Structure 1
Amino acid sequence: MQIIYNQQGIGDVLIVTLDQRNTEITSVSSGDVTEIKEKDSGEVVGYNIFHASKHLDIPETKPILPTDELVEKIGQVIESEGFTHNLNEVDRTPKFIVGKVEEMSDHPDASKLNVCQVNVGDQQHQIVCGAPNVDAGQKVVVALPGAIMPNGMKIVPSQLRGVDSHGMICSAKELNLLNASQEKGILVLDDERTVGEAFFQ
């Protein structure tokens, strides 16, 4: 689950994304809530809550951590408009976390790519990265498989030129952070950040 609220950019709308599908979707609205489903399967993939500040006390952090309290309140708003989806069954583990590049080596089949071994706290992920400034020892923002980027792209395990990659090391621009540099390169975090913690700007 990912929760996005950007009043300045899109208005007083809370966007709750449960999954991202590259298939046709349909929606049903009731009051201030719109339920979004995959058309063929009927599976719920998200909700939009309009006039969100009227219904919820929305945290100022970005992205918003789906705490038990917030998810319960969102569920109450959804139920009040006649929808019955149980949000407690949805995966709420953080998908954007602080990682540390422990090792980096050249990609065997692409001169502009590097193969990074990234510590994400409870495990290590191999991530192929093409950023010119990536290096061993850096603390970085990792989008884990299942993360949905601000542009709508879902991160999935993949292969880049034959090498497995499980996640993405992110730039500030990809994270849609304020005052993000337009130059190519990942966001390098202060060393004080804790490996494995959820990332908040």
Structure 2
Amino acid sequence: MNSKVGMYYNEQFESLLVTWSDSSLIKPIVVKKEDMIAIFDDNDLVSLNILKISKETGLNPGLVSHSPEAIKIVNKSLKELKINPITHSPQLTVAKIVKAEPIPETHLNLCRVYDGENELQIICGAKNVVVNSLVVLATIGTWMPNGQQIKPSKLKGFESFGMLCSANELKLKNHNFSDGIIILDKNWEKYIGQDFMKVREENFESK
């Protein structure tokens, strides 16, 4: 299974949808148990719908891939299916733009972005791209709030290995980020390489 997992909490139906792949299924197999529905493609688990998830768990509606509580709930179901547990894998990471050059005859910038370990090439069309800015990077394999999984792409002959995110794309509420990509203040510098959603929830959301 993929190391990056998309987890989405539906408060209305008290269910947690978990997905490992957005590829078309070849040999789908559906396994139904009392409080969950698992879908396999041949022998690989590709999605899991866990039911009767109480609001008392404290999960916020929407994307919860960063949530320790969500991971705990998923691993309990995986144990029942006799499948190895998952661990937290940062997806929407705090990163830094170290280089940005305009791509001729386009509105795009060819950026080098440091994610705490590596410099990645990212193409971005936002107007507020500035070198040394702290940003939110969706790395390859990241699951977005709209259910999209980030994959390598190519624009104008240049490869891009991720996406710089806006507050709108992350469906953030109660924020003061401006239009364009999210620009974080200097207080985020020490969190480069860490999960933006998790850090924000634990340290910044009430500020």
Q: TM-score range by the shorter chain?
A: 0.7 to 0.9
Aligned ranges 1:1-201 → 2 under 5 Å: 1-7=5-11, 10-23=12-25, 27-38=30-41, 41-53=42-54, 57-59=57-59, 63-65=64-66, 67=68, 71=71, 73-80=73-80, 83-88=81-86, 92-108=88-104, 110-178=105-173, 185-193=180-188, 194-200=191-197, 201=200
What SS does the aligned partner of 1:29 have?
Answer: strand
Q: Distance in 2 between matches of 1:15 and 1:197?
A: 24
Q: Distance in 1 between matches of 2:64 and 2:158?
A: 30
TM-score (norm 2): 0.77
TM-score (norm 1): 0.79
Gaps of 5+ in 2: 201-207
Against the structure 1 CA distance between its residues 77 and 42, is the aligned structure 2 distance closer, same or farther, given a 3 Å change threshold?
closer
Q: Distance in 2 between matches of 1:132 and 1:73?
A: 40
Partners of 2:37 and 2:48 within 8 A in 1: yes
Deviation at 1:57, TM superposition (A): 3.9
Q: Distance in 1 between matches of 2:130 and 2:29?
A: 43
Give the total of aligned pairs: 189
CA RMSD of aligned residues (A): 2.9
Partners of 1:33 and 1:78 within 8 A in 2: no
Q: Distance in 2 between matches of 1:78 and 1:37?
A: 13
What SS does the aligned partner of 2:75 have?
Answer: helix
Against the structure 1 CA distance between its residues 166 and 46, is the aligned structure 2 distance closer, same or farther, given a 3 Å change threshold?
same
Deviation at 1:118, TM superposition (A): 0.6
Deviation at 1:45, TM superposition (A): 1.2
Against the structure 1 CA distance between its residues 179 and 73, is the aligned structure 2 distance closer, same or farther, given a 3 Å change threshold?
closer
Against the structure 1 CA distance between its residues 154 and 64, is the aligned structure 2 distance closer, same or farther, given a 3 Å change threshold?
closer
Partners of 1:12 and 1:52 within 8 A in 2: yes
Q: Distance in 1 between matches of 2:72 and 2:179?
A: 40
Q: Distance in 2 between matches of 1:173 and 1:5?
A: 19
| Per-residue CA distance 1:114-156 (angstroms, 9 max, x = gap) | 0111111011111000112222121111000011112222111
